[in-house]
Amino acid sequence: MIQTVRPHQLLVLALLCSAACGEPAKPDAKKTEVTKADAKVEAKAAPEVKAPEAAPAAPVDPATFEPVDLASVAVLAKYTVKGPPGAKVTPDAPGFGDDAPGGAVIEKDGFKLHLWSSTIGAERTVMPMRAQQDSSKYTETKNEGEKGLLEYTFEKDGKTTHGYIQAKFSTLKGSILCGNQDGVADPAALEAYRKACETLAEKK
């Protein structure tokens, strides 16, 4: 005999099924917060990855020096000198009352060789004035006028830089001077500049 299921019986069955089967579990808000906090702690604890620092430039090796083309600078065009391979030649800005550069800087990887037309006497007058303007102390450590040689230092804030000038070849405006453009912290670094200046010669 077929029994008819009444509406109130269907409701009871639905309630029983809901209780037995259960509803999908909802995420525990507290557990979620703890998980997020743990993730933040792990992120902070992870070691910071830093980019590798650039390696210091290798010391300049005078044995690798090769002839530098000075033809683009009129006052130096008749001379030749050796410098680092691929060195860039940058003419000086013309001085007051001049319409052409008085020299040039030969530069490569921090090595800056300066060649210019002047006299050591003029440089000895200018450099103390420069030191006064820069609030630094200028000292001549070697002055051999008969050899056209001058060595000096600038001192400021406890730091000392060293410089070197070699005079060669008399011109209408004095001599061709050769030396480091910027002061060097280690006097041993002047050796590369001395070696370069020794190669300064007139073209044949």
Cross-sheet strand order for the sheet of 111-118: 88-91, 103-108, 111-118, 174-180, 159-171, 149-156, 137-144
> Does 6 map to a domain?
no
Give the CATH number of the domain where residue 74 resides: 3.40.1000.10
> Does 195 map to a domain?
yes
pLDDT value at position 8?
Answer: 46
Instruction: State the average pLDDT over residues 40-66.
Output: 59
Number of domains in the chain: 1
Domain range for 184? 62-202
> Does 57 map to a domain?
no
pLDDT value at position 139?
Answer: 98
Q: Which has more pLDDT, 135 or 38?
A: 135
At residue 128 the predicted structure's pLDDT band, cuts being 50, 70 and 90, is very high
